[in-house]
Chain A
Amino acid sequence: MRRDEMRPDNGQVARQQPDPARHNGRRPTAAADRPVLPAEPHPPAVPDRPGDVWDQRIAGGLAFLRRRLAGDYEVDEFGFDPELTEAVFHPLLRRLYRDWFRTEVTGLENVPTDGAGLVVGNHSGTVALDALILSTALHHEHPARRYLRLLGADLVFRMPVVSEIARKTGGTMACNPDAERLLRGGELVGVFPEGFKGIGKLYAERYKLQRFGRGGFVSAALRTGTPIIPVAIVGGEEIYPMLADIKPLARLLKLPYFPVTPTFPWLGPLGMVPLPSKWLIEFCPPIPTAHLVDSADDPLVVFNLADQVRETIQQTLHELLERRPDPFGP
């Protein structure tokens, strides 16, 4: 399975230990990596106390640091660095996911345990935090701890730093060659067909799905025979409620929109703190496409399927909203 090659235990690390992520639950860099230490044959300066979890954590952290500084890790052809994602980004996002947004996930059984899948969601929230929370949900809650390979707008890959974080966490440019390559490799790919129309909409239009573009995501799924898994995400719209969009300023800064929220830009950097809304994520039953592989170039089939996905997400959004009467509830 290609998916397994992406795991952090590949290559250099694999020689030393079986998958630390699986054996060690949420702390991949801790105890399991300890035997990795090259100087371990020497007796430690302080006799180890069994169950000294801090000692193990420190040793694991140092081993991680050494591996990073020596370049002893693997990245895939898209730039995905599973070790860094697992050890740094996911623990940070998990904080946001669990403690700040109190996210509840349903319908995980609709996401395949292995093999390709195209996860299609609604986009919202001025800043695309929903994509990151969705990938955290899949990695944290799914029994196979799947990585979601996100497809991002070219603006993301134009920006220094942001582009590299996106690549290192498994993202790539939203274009058909990349999407199809990932799907052929058996990856779980995440896409938000609304794009900037979705995240840049005003608070008044919350949870109203925008246009779905040209349906490029459907043709990618059709060409590879990959099931489409619609996902509805509730909670993203309230994190930075966008009250107005200063278009001239956006044009000046070459951004798709310039948001005004209750806290931004008034409070400066403090305005970047997302409001603690309550999040619900529901994965809908997969829409199979294997029988439609020949219709990938038939615009009518593509549009109909895109419409079907859009309708499913919109309906599920309404259902979720009924289950969550108070956006900032417990």
Chain B
Amino acid sequence: MTPGDSSSHPGVVVVTGVSRYLGAHVAARLVTDPRIERVIGIDLREPSPEVAGLLGQVERIRVDAGSVGGLLADLDVDTVVHLALASAPDQQQGGRAAMKEQNVIGTMQMLAACQRAPRLRKLVVRSSTAAYGASFRDPAVFTEETEPREVPRGGFGRDILDIEGYVRGFRRRRPDVTATVLRFAPFIGSTADTTLTRYFSLPVVPTILGRDARLQFLHFDDALEVVHRSVTEDHPGTYNVAGPGVLALSQAIRRAGRLAVPMLEPGLSGAAALARTMGLGRYGLDQVDLLVHGRVVDTTRLEREYGFTPRSTAAAFDDFIRAHHGRSVVTREQLAAAEQLVLDQIRRVRAAVREQP
């Protein structure tokens, strides 16, 4: 579909969701790549204040997903990076209904527009490891071929399944377009602000009694790297993107110097619902399911095809801890001091006992 396009470098790249953290960072990064001719960021909303500074050099167009079609044709777009996904409902932005509208309907319209864009040759779609759902009969490690056994309870998980379904349809109808689906593990890092980083920043962290989920994180900078490579290189297919290795939830909480408070699972679901209606947090069934079942993916395919290994889950989490260190409840130094104190006391008592005849 792109006759005469001798170079494999992308010309006009459209990034959706630039008002959000990931979209803004990706757009800002692609702009600095001299191999890319032009980067256009599109979104419905004005960028949030914390990312507005990044978008200085990025051409921005405010457009709703329904009218993207004309835009793609007019601008001769050859690459679309679709990142406009909301991972948790935001009460200020219309809650779950708006989230579904953006995730499912937004992606549907975006793909419809892409299908009719004649010069399009690459599509990169953000997905999530939530695509594997959560079930007690799941294997311990998901490869890209694993099918979800149960439809997830959480809204985001269901949205992801729908989105990937639409991408499958798009692949069938436009086999000439290189479609890359990136299933990201939850982001973490020194600056990323996500549902999960806020969770680990709580001084007292609610967990589920009798469950210790295996978690994987992806360093935010590695996520940027993978999206960047997906744009400049050709990697058709679906990829798990996560930091190798695993942290148990209890272990992560201890490393972060927080205190875990185990709660009964129905209680936690209720508390999450309550907190959401009171606008306290954005925790939902997606998060509860993650904490019950955990989620670990195999990243062999990514490492082989991209020649890139994200930093390990433990290293990514360490970076997060360093940035949030000031708010630890229990520090390593305190533990070491306590250990020494107890040891000294025991030795003193034993010595005293021994000296008595």
Contacts and interface: CB of A to CB of B under 8 A. Distances in A.
Do the two chains bind? yes
Interface of A: 37-39, 42, 44-46, 54-55, 58-59, 62-63, 65-66, 68-73, 75-79, 81, 154, 157-164, 167-168, 172-173, 175, 177-178, 181
A216 B182 CA distance: 32
A162 B265 CA distance: 15
7 contacts: A39-B339, A55-B347, A58-B343, A66-B338, A157-B136, A160-B209, A163-B210
Contact of B336 (A59, A66, A76): A66
B323 to A, nearest CB: 17
A45 B344 contact: yes
B336 A75 contact: no
B350 A44 contact: no
Given A77-B246, A164-B212, 17 more contacts: A38-B340, A42-B340, A58-B343, A62-B339, A62-B343, A66-B339, A70-B332, A71-B253, A75-B247, A78-B141, A79-B294, A157-B136, A158-B136, A161-B209, A167-B212, A167-B214, A178-B139
A215 to B, nearest CB: 19
Among A54, A59, A63, A69, chain B packs the most CB atoms within 10 A around the CB of A69
Given A71-B252, A73-B251, A39 B351 contact: no
Contacts of B254: 68-71
Interface residues of B, number: 43
Contacts of A157: 136-137
B25 interface: no
Nearest to B137: A154
Contact of A75 (B246, B337, B343): B246
Q: Which of B252, B332, B347, B351 has the most CB of A within 10 A?
A: B347
In this complex, the member of A69, A71, A73, A75 whose beta carbon has the largest number of chain B beta carbons within 10 angstroms is A71
A111 B337 CA distance: 45
B210 A164 contact: yes
B141 A181 contact: yes
A59 B86 CA distance: 50
B342 A79 contact: no
Interface string B237-279: 0000000011110111111000000000100000000000000
Contacts of A81: 248
A155 to B, nearest CB: 9
Contacts of B351: 45-46
Nearest to B337: A39
A39 to B, nearest CB: 4
Contacts of B342: 62
A178 B335 contact: no
A164 B209 CA distance: 10
Contacts of A75: 214, 246-248, 251
B195 interface: no
Given A39-B336, A76-B246, A177-B143, A154 B348 contact: no
Given A45-B344, A71-B254, A160-B211, A154 B335 contact: no
Interface of B: 136-141, 143, 146, 208-212, 214, 245-248, 250-255, 265, 294, 296, 330, 332, 335-340, 342-344, 346-348, 350-351
Contacts of B350: 46, 54-55
A172 B246 CA distance: 15
Contact of A154 (B136, B253, B294): B136
Nearest to B214: A79
B343 A173 contact: no
Nearest to B250: A71
A71 B143 CA distance: 28
Contacts of B245: 77
A164 B138 CA distance: 15
A65 B339 contact: yes
A167 B212 CA distance: 9
A77 B332 contact: no
Given A70-B332, A79-B246, A173 B339 contact: no
B344 A77 contact: no
B348 A46 contact: yes
Nearest to A78: B140
Contacts of A59: 343
A77 B140 contact: yes
Nearest to B245: A77
The 6 tightest CB contacts between A and B, nearest first, are A160-B210, A71-B254, A71-B255, A161-B210, A46-B347, A177-B139
Nearest to A54: B350
A63 B252 contact: no
Contacts of A78: 140-141, 214
B348 A69 contact: no
Contacts of B340: 37-39, 42
A45 B255 CA distance: 30
A65 B138 CA distance: 32
Nearest to B344: A45
A66 B136 contact: no
B354 to A, nearest CB: 9
Contacts of A76: 246
A63 B339 contact: yes
B136 A172 contact: no
A49 B127 CA distance: 61
Contact of B211 (A46, A54, A163): A163
A151 to B, nearest CB: 11
B347 A79 contact: no
Contact of A58 (B140, B253, B337, B346): B346
A306 B250 CA distance: 40
A75 B214 CA distance: 9
Contact of B141 (A44, A69, A158, A178): A178
A226 B32 CA distance: 51
Given A158-B136, A177-B139, A177-B143, A164 B211 contact: yes
